[in-house]
């Protein structure tokens, strides 16, 4: 695998985690409507079937994302931060951060 392949893979990896960071959407019933309904009926039990659907424990990334995550966890903090800023947050990097990013990409080339 060469550097171009790794960068392409990291772009997809970043898009996946960026999508996971975005809010999912709105609930069908507002919180106020739920509280009013609970007050009228006297039943204070949650009937939301998807209550745990969007928490972090329910995220099951694909195998290739998990593989990249394992490799990046072994990298130094500066390199992980550079990967995050470049591929997930899509922000501009300083020269020092660019060097850390290149080193991280080279580590990934060697590991994959």
pLDDT tens digits, 62-102: 899 999 999 999 999 999 999 999 999 999 999 999 999 99
Q: What is the mean pLDDT of residues 57-62?
A: 76
Per-residue pLDDT at 33 exceeds 80: no
- pLDDT at residue 87, as a whole number: 95
What pLDDT, on the 0 to 100 scale, is given for residue 19? 85
d(Cα 68, Cα 19) in Å, to the nearest integer? 16
Q: Where are the beta strands (DSSP E) in 3-84?
A: none
Q: Which residue has the tokens 């080279």?
A: 106
Average pLDDT of the chain to the nearest whole number: 84
- Whether the CB-CB separation of 81 and 100 falls below 8 Å is answered with yes
Contact 107, 75 (CB under 8 A): yes
Rounded Cα distance between 63 and 70, Å, is 11
């Amino acid at each position: 695998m060469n550097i171009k392949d790794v960068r392409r893979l990291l772009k997809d990896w970043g898009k996946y985690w960026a999508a996971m960071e975005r809010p999912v959407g709105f609930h069908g019933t507002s919180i106020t409507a739920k509280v009013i309904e609970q007050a009228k009926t006297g039943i204070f039990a949650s009937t939301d079937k998807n209550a745990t659907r969007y928490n972090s424990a329910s995220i099951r990334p694909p195998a290739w994302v998990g593989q990249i995550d394992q490799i990046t966890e072994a990298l130094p903090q500066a390199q992980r931060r550079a990967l995050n800023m470049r591929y997930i947050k899509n922000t501009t990097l300083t020269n020092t951060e660019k060097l850390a990013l290149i080193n991280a990409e080279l580590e990934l080339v060697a590991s994959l």
